[in-house]
Amino acid sequence: MQTNRFLENMPLDNLTVIGPFRGPTGYGHHVREFTRELHNQGVAVELVDLPEWSPHPLPEHLRDPWFDSLRSPVSGPVVLHFCMPHQVVPRQARLNVNYTMFEATRICRLWVRQNRKHDLVIVPTESSYQAWIRSGVPAERVRISPLGINHVVFSGTAAPLEIHLENGEPLSRRRTRFLNVSAFDPRKNLLGLLRVWMKTTRASDDAVLVMKLGSYSRGRDELFRRYVAALEVAMGKSVQDVAPVHFLYDTMSDADMPRLYAAATHYVSMSFGEGWDQPMMEAAASGLSLIAPNHSAYTAYLDSSIARLIPSKETPVRYYGGDPATAKLFANASWWEPDEDAAMAAIRSAIDGHPTPAPARDRIVRDFTWRQAASRLIGILSELKAPKKRRWFFLRFPLYRGGATKTGNSPPANPVKLDRS
């Protein structure tokens, strides 16, 4: 039964959070960050894992045991589900809120049906908000609450990670060092990024592209290598014929990621669509120069004054590839195709040392801290009115004893349940 109403504010002093906090993906990261900051702002959190999100959790040595300590049940009415809409398992007699996002112009019918059963949907950007509204979810059911960045951790002051290329050359010797951090997923358009790199660069360029790949299922690394080999055949050249491309496959801890950004000078994406792109935000906070498509979530925090934006055109998702279940989510949707010629020009300009837009760090750390993100989230959740509890009312029945009538003061054996909600 749906219980949400936006009436008088409801103090939010405790909260049940369900999400993949043990996972290595972006969702796992922002569940951990939101939980930490909610705790800092005085909200007691009961944290429940969502193990089906990723088949491979973070290795034990990369986990913070503090999150596992947040097991005590709380009594508050709100349950916050960080997951896709069809993964929400509503808690009965509670207010069920789904924090989610999407990377295309529309969401699938299954998600619309599921979110209509929930009390509220929260998304991080206008791009996701429009996807929900266009697909038929009532506007009053959807709110925007952006994610954040740890501007202390991602400050650009970390010691650069020591990385050596395949020939043993230290990465730091290259003057222009591009970085991309992505899961191996068709939407990330990693082959498009490689194609642009191979068209643009020469072996003599004082530059390198580092691709940090998240691969969360068996065989994905080998599959990616086969795709790269096929790309080389199609282009008639090898990655060995151009400026170096260095692949990183290892899972890194939250503490190591700032050092990875510190090892680079530029961050580049050719993604077809983003719900947020946390690595782009982390790169921005770390002071890197940014090259990003001008679409979806990027428009929420970037513009041409702080990033080199790649023009993009909306195009139907004709073939998703990859996981069939994920492909179904993109049925009848469109995403955005970055202009490869413009991307080539941006990369070439950076390699040649031409002026770049101002660093994005000042704006990002001013407007998108985790403290601000958690405060906005608390404000939205506090607007929810607690669900009415069903109350038991006991009627006073006359008692008959030997013809005499007496009003009894005890409830009957089977009380009458009146639903006053």
What global pTM score does this model have? 0.87
**In 185-305, where does DSSP find H-type helix?**
190-200, 220-235, 257-262, 278-285, 298-301
* Residue 190 one-letter amino acid: L
Predicted local distance difference test score (pLDDT) of residue 36? 97
**C-beta of residue 171 within 8 angstroms of C-beta of residue 246:** yes
Cβ atoms < 10 Å from Cβ of 210: 22
Q: Are strands 266-268 and 289-293 parallel, antiparallel or unpaired?
A: parallel
- Go through 137-158 and write b for each residue having 16 or more CB atoms within 10 A of its CB, e for each that does not: beeebbbebbbbbbbeebbeeb
As a whole number of angstroms, the distance between CA 99 and CA 120 comes to 9
Q: Which residue, 39, 19, 41, is CA-closest to 30?
A: 19
**C-beta of residue 17 within 8 angstroms of C-beta of residue 34:** yes
Give the residue range(s) of CATH 3.40.50.2000 domains in the chain: 14-148+372-382, 171-364
**C-beta of residue 106 within 8 angstroms of C-beta of residue 317:** no
pLDDT per residue rounded down to tens, the chain (421 residues)? 444 444 355 679 999 999 999 998 889 999 999 999 999 999 999 999 999 888 788 888 889 999 999 999 999 999 999 999 999 999 999 999 999 999 999 999 999 999 999 999 999 999 999 999 999 999 999 999 999 999 999 999 999 999 999 999 999 999 999 999 998 889 999 999 999 999 999 999 999 999 999 865 566 778 888 999 999 999 999 999 999 999 998 888 878 899 999 999 999 999 999 999 999 999 999 999 999 999 999 999 999 999 999 999 999 998 777 778 889 999 999 999 999 999 999 999 999 999 999 999 999 999 999 999 999 999 999 999 766 554 444 444 444 344 443 334 333 333 333 333 3
CA distances from 167 to 129, 170, 171, 239, 348 (A): 47, 9, 11, 14, 24
Give CB contacts under 8 A, 24+ apart, made by 73-76.
Answer: 73/16, 73/46, 74/14, 74/15, 74/16, 74/44, 74/45, 74/46, 75/14, 76/12, 76/13, 76/14, 76/15, 76/16
- Go through 18-41 and write b for each residue having 16 or more CB atoms within 10 A of its CB, e for each that does not: bbbbbbbbbbbbbbbbbbbbbbee
Q: Are strands 44-48 and 14-18 parallel, antiparallel or unpaired?
A: parallel
Helix 220-235 with 190-200: angle, nearest 10 deg: 40
Cβ atoms < 10 Å from Cβ of 131: 25
Predicted local distance difference test score (pLDDT) of residue 396? 45
Beta bridge partners of 293: 310
Predicted local distance difference test score (pLDDT) of residue 121? 98
As a whole number of angstroms, the distance between CA 245 and CA 210 comes to 6
Predicted local distance difference test score (pLDDT) of residue 393? 43
Cβ atoms < 10 Å from Cβ of 262: 18
Predicted local distance difference test score (pLDDT) of residue 222? 81
Q: Which CATH architecture fits 14-148+372-382?
A: 3-Layer(aba) Sandwich (3.40)
* Residue 127 one-letter amino acid: S
As a whole number of angstroms, the distance between CA 243 and CA 277 comes to 26
The string of DSSP codes covering 357-392 is PPPSHHHHHHH-BHHHHHHHHHHHHHTBPPPPPP-B
Predicted local distance difference test score (pLDDT) of residue 405? 38
First to last CA, the chain: 11
Sequence-distant (6+) residues with CB within 8 A of 134 are: 105, 106
Predicted local distance difference test score (pLDDT) of residue 313? 98
Place of tokens 């660069």: 201
Q: What is the 8-class DSSP label of residue 397?
A: P
Instruction: Tell me the three state secondary structure of residue 76.
Output: coil
Place of tokens 């090898």: 238
**C-beta of residue 10 within 8 angstroms of C-beta of residue 382:** yes
Out of 2.60.40.420, 3.40.50.2000, 3.30.1370.30, 3.40.50.360, select the CATH number for domain 171-364: 3.40.50.2000
